[in-house]
Structure 1
Amino acid sequence: MAELDSPAQAELVAQWRGLLARHADTACTLDRELGERYGLGMSEFEVLERLVEGCGSGDGPHSLRVSDLAPTVHLSQSALSRLIARLEKGGLVTRSMCEADRRAVVITLTDAGCERYRQARPLHREVLSRTLGEAPVTGSCSN
């Protein structure tokens, strides 16, 4: 027979489950709405955004080493590699060897990728506002 949780432990479990539900609702809504309108999944958008943020405010190319990008997007190495390949095939990023370290791969945002990001950003922020606000979880993955 399983032991019963203390009230404090039961509250932690309830908070954990609420967090999981909110994450799932937000991720599914982002995937669905970004996909329908801009052909991007949540993770693709996140990579584009990290490239925009990663270069600072200068006018230079929006580039990051894959090794710097990887820990920020919460994907396995193989999943990130496949995602980058999809973005490259879609003309949104380019992939090249790092000139300073030939072992490193650099991802650079293209003009098309920058434009797609610029177009999708307002929807991304609207979905975050809608799903992470005080409204109850809607379970949009099952729609």
Structure 2
Amino acid sequence: MTHSVATMLSAQPCTWTSAHRTPHSGRSDSDLRKERRKAREAAVKKRYRTKPTNRPRLCADDIMERKAMSRYQDLYAEAMAKYGLERGVRGSEARHIDQHEYYRQCQREKAVLEKDVAELSHEKKKLDKEKKCWRARSAS
């Protein structure tokens, strides 16, 4: 195969065909149809009309904004006040703790408390012995 034939074979969007006696390259009709269809689609592309901004509308930006969420919490606190519930701290920096992290913290605290209980138990036994000694001394 010569260089010019290899170049022709790899040329896009031309295709190599040997339907006739002499092999030749040619452009397929499907490539032309695709280009025309793309041009039509670009020309007919749907343009959406915008709604007037002065009408009532349902928009997550309006509902979920920071001030609105704070207002919802205030209203909820007012409604729940008769049950003894109070509103949380405004502007709190507290964040949600993952369940696994919460249980890890509980396990750490439990270990510290168990250690304290063991120390206090040991100290109580020591004091009980001293108390017995003092009673024995005062009785004699």
After TM superposition, the score normalised by the length of structure 1 is 0.21
Considering Cα pairs closer than 8 Å and 6+ residues apart, tell me whether 1 or 2 has the greater RCO.
1
Rg: which structure is higher?
Answer: 2
